[in-house]
Amino acid sequence: MKVILLERVERLGAIGDVVVVKDGFARNFLLPRSKALRANASSLKMFEAERHLIEERNAETRAAAEKQGSKLDEQSYIMIRQAGDSGQLYGSVSGRDIAETVVAEGGKVDRSQVVLDKPIKTLGLHEVKVRLHAEVTITIKVNIARSADEAERQAKGENVITSQFEEDQAAAAASAADMIAGGAGSIGDDRDFA
């Protein structure tokens, strides 16, 4: 189906472009969200007559998105989640969770604006893109940790999973050394304790 784009659509085109898209994409996404018009003679005439209004409206929304983006860009948000010893979360962090965290801290983001290729399933620092407008995309940092202390350590650049593994190894080695020094398991003792 041929459509006229009323706003910039990523990987498709800019305002005023006439593009061919699949029928389902046009009927289910572009047309209901007023991102495009069916390309026919009357729609082309109407678009050309209102082109300057559409471009002005787009410029206004882009300016508002840039203003909002300047407040949110490069911000860091902490999310406390339960996770196993290997750093795998007992669930995942989705776009909805990130949007709720941003809103709770005073930001203004809708879950549909959060761009995640796949849900986040591990502890650590993650960069997440937020598309505020078709032409305005910012990046926020999400610090996912098991506790506030762990989040603080991660923010300083420490890999808490590796640190925990090394601490566990050191504790096991110290415990083994204590057992050997204390005579546990020595074969030289002939007394029968039965």
Interior CA angle at 172 toward 168 and 177, to 5°? 150
Q: Can you give the CATH number for the domain in which 130 is found?
A: 3.10.430.100
Residue 34 neighbours by CB under 8 Å, 6+ apart: 6
In a domain, 190, yes or no: no
Give the pLDDT confidence of 151-167 residue by residue, as tens digits.
888 888 877 777 776 77
Q: Which two tokens stand for residue 51?
A: 């082109």
Give the pLDDT confidence of 33-70 residue by residue, as tens digits.
989 999 999 988 998 898 899 899 989 999 999 998 88
Residues 125-133, mean pLDDT to the nearest whole number? 91
What is the SS3 assignment for 116?
coil
pTM over 0.75: no
Residues belonging to the chain: 194
- Of 40, 68, 96, the residue that ends a domain is 68
Distance CA 95, CA 188 (A): 64
Predicted local distance difference test score (pLDDT) of residue 108? 87
Instruction: Supply the range of the domain harboring residue 31.
Output: 2-68
Mode of pairing for the β-strands spanning 120-122 and 124-133: unpaired
The answer on pLDDT for 107 being more than 90 is no
Give the total number of structural domains in the chain.
Answer: 2
